[in-house]
Chain A
């Protein structure tokens, strides 16, 4: 089989993994050295596909032959798809060539399970080792970790990879048992735990070997089962807490050809995935807890973003006086982000904040207006009713129609 044909099959097989981040790696440079590749902590999106997703890495499977029969997966053994397998050298050649052309910042390699978990993991490691040792490649490497692989293999993977990830796949154990019978929630957590330990050792002991400096991430498929957003967010929160994950990716279940009857035929609204990412961002960057965002069972609202939803449900915290309030509380105002909050902090050390300043800082005033006080502005009484506000502030139908 021609290389281009393998690439076509194995990129198609890998695209359901949402992660393509190339950020968080330590500073490395090839200036004046043999080999190629650099990282500086910042990710670069080298292209965008028409689905609006970033292309930062060469994201392929080593092979899409697979012994497992995960119902939501296009590569499950019962799926009637063309199959292919790269040699490790072929992946190395493609990575180096695309890298030199500046098409990618590195490699994200995963694989179907062939023969055994250990064997599969060894194959993935072999590619990373070839790149790092034979070719002195200093670009980004993300390796998917096979959960049942031996801990020594995970430790070895951490030597070469910037990021490791184990997919949690589904938000509940019941769903995993039902839809991914060969997978086991216990071994997934154990693998995450091992990666977390490796990271901690590398950080705490000066002479410890390098271990996945860009940390670990995971992916949860949304909409392949009936789990609600509340369960998903609480689950994500404990993953962040227990294993210090850098990112949880939410991937709206994407219908696959010849879909089995156990999974839906329709994709969930992409807007649901979007709201989950917004909520996740509020947990990581703004100090919100899952319970603040969704106290009881249920899903995030689709018509308003989760920050606005929180503000409408917590009117007693508002309006916030921008000339007095803590920056952390200002960042909780809908339409004002962390950066603007910091800039308002800098500005008010020079002079009083006025309404017009928010325009210059490019805050979303329609959203912020009912929740703020400035030197020259107070929200009028009429704006006090949350139900009315929600009517006014919901995302317009025109935007909804995009999805």
Chain B
């Protein structure tokens, strides 16, 4: 058994895998140890063999697939990739297809990674930053896979010339308006900036969230399928979710109106007549007075 200890990046793994392939090492002869792996009692230090000569041809499509799948955190993170690469180089093209035992697992991981990138795009919540020296917007997020570096560019397209950062408990990204910086260990001051107290904007968002919910259609299962529990704690609307659910269950289910509006004084509008319809609009547009309607 050869233990290959490496830094956990795809680039280093790729070089090590290339060497192992050229040495003809079969998947079962290899053990991949990234930074997360605890040092084993009988670890052999990776022998610094001279660079083997030889040519390997691997399609750029396969490399892309492997690189994406490498973002998946989980057991056999690297050994599956090597096994697929090994089989592919031996001529077993079906190793990458979803109908194959290894290919099926590969595609499951690709899907999980894509889904997590999508979760990042959906559930990151920026807050305008007040701290001196900090970027315009900051956010804290906890992705389940290592998608931060590859998926964060999305926010540069959204936020124009604004600067922003996303901190996690592991890595972090910082966009200064021109360039994306990715740190595999998130600097402590980034993390401090990202943990800000509540502001008024979040209260507005919560008001919207509570009102756009239809309590007559409560459906917890579907909701949790799409918005897994682990994301709730970083969403400003998170604390509101259980409250809205229990209120809906407690009896507001018969109609769709938001509970905060139920029973509030309303305003019926009289049937319009010709004269009123042509009345000029008043400047006072707020309040419950209708500027354009007969009173």
Which A residues contact B (CB, under 8 angstroms)? Answer: 1, 3-4, 6-9, 11-12, 14-16, 29-38, 40, 44-55, 58-60, 63, 65-67, 74, 77-85, 87, 94, 97-103, 114-116, 119, 139, 252, 254-257, 259, 267, 270, 343-344, 346-347, 350-351, 353, 357, 360-361, 402
Contact = CB atoms under 8 A, between A and B. Distances in A.
The 3 closest A-B pairs by CB, nearest first: A52-B222, A80-B266, A30-B160
B126 A101 contact: yes
Contacts of A139: 158
A50 B268 contact: no
Contacts of B65: none
B267 A36 contact: no
A47 B237 contact: yes
B239 interface: no
B158 A36 contact: yes
Contact of B223 (A30, A48, A360): A48
Contact of B269 (A33, A52, A65): A65
Interface string B25-51: 000000000000000000000000000
A136 to B, nearest CB: 8
B149 interface: no
Interface stretch (B14-22, B181-189, B280-288): B280-288
18 contacts: A1-B288, A11-B211, A32-B178, A33-B160, A36-B162, A44-B118, A50-B244, A60-B208, A67-B293, A82-B288, A83-B288, A85-B291, A97-B204, A101-B205, A116-B277, A252-B217, A259-B255, A360-B98
Most interface-central of A15, A48, A54, A82 (chain B CB within 10 A): A48
B94 A360 contact: no
B272 interface: yes
A284 B268 CA distance: 42
Contacts of A6: 286
Given A8-B260, A50-B241, A82-B288, A254 B214 contact: yes
Nearest to A67: B272
Interface residues of B, number: 89
B52 interface: no
Which of B214, B237, B244 is most buried by chain A, counting CB atoms within 10 A of its CB?
B214
Nearest to B294: A67
Interface of B: 93-94, 97-101, 103-104, 118, 121-128, 137, 139, 154-162, 177-178, 201-205, 207-223, 225-227, 235, 237, 241, 244-245, 248, 254-258, 260-262, 264-272, 277, 281, 285-288, 290-293
A47 B119 CA distance: 10
Contacts of B158: 30, 36-38, 99, 102, 139
Contact of B128 (A9, A29, A100, A252): A100
Nearest to A48: B227
A15 B268 contact: no
A277 B227 CA distance: 21
A343 B157 contact: no
A7 B208 contact: yes
Contacts of B227: 47-48
A12 B211 contact: yes
Contacts of A256: 255-257
A97 B161 CA distance: 15
B97 A343 contact: yes
A100 B257 contact: no
B266 A81 contact: yes
Given A15-B213, A51-B218, A360 B261 contact: no
Contacts of A30: 157-161
A6 B271 CA distance: 24
Contacts of B286: 1, 6, 84-85, 87
A361 B241 CA distance: 34
A178 B67 CA distance: 60
A268 B218 CA distance: 14
- Interface of chain A: mostly helix, strand, loop or mixed: loop
Contacts of B202: 101
A16 B202 CA distance: 24
A254 B253 CA distance: 10
A18 to B, nearest CB: 10
Contacts of A49: 209, 212-214, 223, 244
Contacts of B264: 82
A44 B122 contact: yes
Contact of B214 (A45, A53, A347): A53
Nearest to B103: A360
B113 to A, nearest CB: 16
Given A85-B291, A116-B277, A77 B271 contact: yes
A80 B103 CA distance: 60
A311 to B, nearest CB: 23
Query: Which has the most chain A C-beta neighbours within 10 Å: B99, B218, B293?
Result: B99
A190 B43 CA distance: 76
Contacts of B205: 98, 101, 103
B260 A16 contact: no
Contacts of A361: 98-99, 104
Given A6-B286, A31-B156, A102-B124, A14 B212 contact: yes
Given A49-B223, A257-B255, A357 B99 contact: yes
Contacts of A84: 286-288
Contacts of B218: 50-51
Contacts of A48: 222-223, 226-227
A45 B212 CA distance: 14
Contacts of B271: 77
A12 B209 CA distance: 10
B204 A4 contact: yes
Given A50-B219, A98-B208, A101-B201, A29 B266 contact: no
Which of B93, B101, B154, B211: most chain A Cβ within 10 A?
B211
A58 B285 CA distance: 21
Most buried by A among B160, B262, B270, B291: B160
Contacts of B93: 350
